[in-house]
Amino acid sequence: MTTSSENQKLIVVTGASTGMGASAARELARQGFHVLAGVRRERDADAIRSTGIEPVILDITKSEQVEALAARVADDPRALHALVNNAGIQVNAPVEALPMAQWRHVFEVNLFGHIAVTQALLPALLRANGRVVNISSIGGTVAMATYGAYAGAKFALEAVSDSLRREVAPLGVRVVVIEPGGVRTEMAARGVATANRLADRMTPDQEERYGSLVRANNELMTSGTASGLTADAAARIIAKAVTTRRPRTRYTAGRDAAVVTRLARILSDRTLDRILAANLRRHYPKRDDAIEARPVRARVRDLGLCK
């Protein structure tokens, strides 16, 4: 448990409806902080509301809700100890096949929204010598096939975190990045469902090029999540970054994240490509399954019944 002085401190956690965000909110409340837990729906607010957790309606892409959060923090006499930028979405599709509107939406949620919340709360964090904890991903260090948009936003978040850290460290604010690998949350299942919806919209030629890749990646994502950290275990790493007196600039969460991050530092791009391809190859559908899974229009075309 923290000292009694911590009872007078606030923490903001975005994306606290489920998964790591909800678990982090509960862990930090357990340690004595007053947590403003960002959720998007009233039913999510009802689910997480408890001792030490005050839900706030927050879509980080909506400026009026970000401004309302900043006003709520400014009106509170307690110091803002930390902002945990956790909100995010997972969208997987080949670069060629992902519509531009989806690219922009991923960056709005996974990058620009975090920047908006950070800008809004930095005055309070500067007054309190607080800290910013940005939840990145293993995808912020290695961009796997079909992860172009997701990894692109996470790579950018890592870069913004580095720049922000160097700007505000002399002013007393610490910036920390958390890089989780597979975590057993609802986000991965939603990501697979989204990937399947996007795959259904691919053209026949795109299906021919990428259909098996998408299905293999979905299998890999599902298996990696099933064997990954629990949300509570990941939350304890987030809490450590929030509470330790001198936090590291980066923490990995999960063995897979630690291994891949280390490999990315020491291996050439080509060598890493081969390792990732070999790992993915095990999840490719068998030929008969792949044919069956292809859209009807593609199979009809193969039979010569249409052009």
Amino acid at 7: N
Place of tokens 């910036």: 175
Short-list 130, 109, 149, CA closest to 12: 130
Q: How far apart are CA 271 and CA 117, in angstroms?
A: 38
- CB 183, CB 229: distance < 8 Å: yes
Short-list 152, 65, 37, 162, CA closest to 105: 152
Q: One of 150, 210, 251, 284 is an active-site residue; which one?
A: 150
Q: How far apart are CA 135 and CA 143, in angstroms?
A: 16
223's CB contacts (< 8 A; 6+ apart) are: 283
Q: How far apart are CA 190 and CA 199, in angstroms?
A: 14
Q: How far apart are CA 142 and CA 215, in angstroms?
A: 20
Task: Assess whether 150 carries a catalytic annotation.
Answer: yes
- Going 41 to 87 to 20 to 225, the CA torsion angle's sign is positive
Point out the residues that are catalytic: 150
